[in-house]
Amino acid sequence: MRIARFVTDAEPSYGLVTGGEGEETIIELNGDPFYQGIQQTETTHRLEDVRLVAPIIPRSKLIGVGRNYADHVKEMGGEIPVSPLLFLIPNTAVVGPNEPVTLPSFSEEVSYEAELAVVIGRICKDVPVERVPEVVFGYTVANDLTARDAQRTDGQWARAKGFDGSTPLGPWIETDLDPEGLRISGRLNGETVQDGSTSEMIFGVAELIAYISQAFTLLPGDVILTGTPAGVGLLGSGDRFEADIEGIGTLVNHFRN
């Protein structure tokens, strides 16, 4: 199932996206599917008649994973980590599909990073690898924007990775997906700049969630960013970036000063 958040003239609602490309409709859901399950109403909209927003705004946290693709580690001049490299992102960093992102005034080197994002569906702690599927609500597309100059000078990654608008998510959450071996790509102004596969992760989705849940209690709606393949580069005002993941869809954002 594809679960989206959207607005028409009122507050954001959740909806179930159905139909093929170009013919999608969205069935409005009753309440919050993370706490009330999937309860369909009789209200439907054409997808083109609504505005999609970020499919989830985490109530608790976003957790990023750095340097999780060997080719990306190589291009950044680092070393392969012996365990997952984690960082936290505030929920104020989240924006949705097609939303313009204002590049931060403190940075001259903001880069794109197309990533698979995992959305947690239930409260959990110390999850065994074999039980990880039980705690996953679904998957969405992320663009983990990074202020490279701040990342170099700050030591901590909070400002570099957590500025307002630094984590576009969307277009929806796909609940029925095997995260292994998915093509993940990024296009800057129509040109493919990233082209990899989730099979290239150093630490896979199940291993990441098991590891992260040893440190943090995970809550419904928490989001885990799983790292980016090689090909990262800089963004400028007027740029358009498309992050695409097989089986989910394409997340599009424009950037401005």
Using the 8-state DSSP alphabet, how is residue 5 labeled?
A: E
Start-end ranges of CATH 3.90.850.10 in the chain?
62-255
pLDDT tens digit sequence for 145-166: 999 999 999 989 999 999 999 9
Query: In which residue are the tokens 């080197």 written?
Result: 109
The secondary structure of 148-197 as a DSSP string is: HHHHHHHSSSHHHHHSTT-EEEEEEEESS---TT-EEEEEETTEEEEEEE
Q: Which two tokens stand for residue 26?
A: 């969205």
**pLDDT value for 78:** 86
Residue with tokens 């505030």: 90
Taking only the tens place, the pLDDT of each residue in 96-155 is: 999 999 999 999 999 999 999 999 999 999 999 999 999 999 999 999 999 999 999 998
pLDDT tens track for 45-100: 999 999 999 999 999 999 999 999 999 999 988 899 999 999 999 999 999 999 99
Domain at 2-53: CATH code:
2.30.30
For 75-98, letters b (16+ CB in 10 Å) and e give eeeeeeeeebbbbebbbebbbbbe
| Ranges of CATH 2.30.30 domains, the chain | 2-53
- Long-range (24+ apart) CB contacts under 8 A made by 123-128 are 123/217, 123/218, 123/219, 123/220, 124/213, 124/217, 124/218, 125/213, 125/217, 125/218, 126/213, 126/214, 127/209, 127/210, 127/213, 127/218, 128/210
CATH topology of domain 62-255: Fumarylacetoacetate hydrolase; domain 2 (3.90.850)
Q: Other C-beta atoms within 10 Å of 69: how many?
A: 25
Averaged confidence pLDDT in the chain: 97
CA Rg, the chain, in Å?
Answer: 17
Do 202 and 70 contact (CB within 8 A), yes or no?
Answer: yes
Please say if the pLDDT value at position 3 is more than 90: yes
> How many CA atoms lie within 13 Å of 70's alpha carbon, on the beta-carbon side?
6
In this prediction the pTM is 0.97
Give the C-alpha separation, 124 to 122, whole Å. 6
Confidence band of 10 (pLDDT split at 50, 70, 90): confident
Q: What is residue 254's predicted lDDT score, i.e. its pLDDT?
A: 98
* Tokens, residue 20: 């093929």
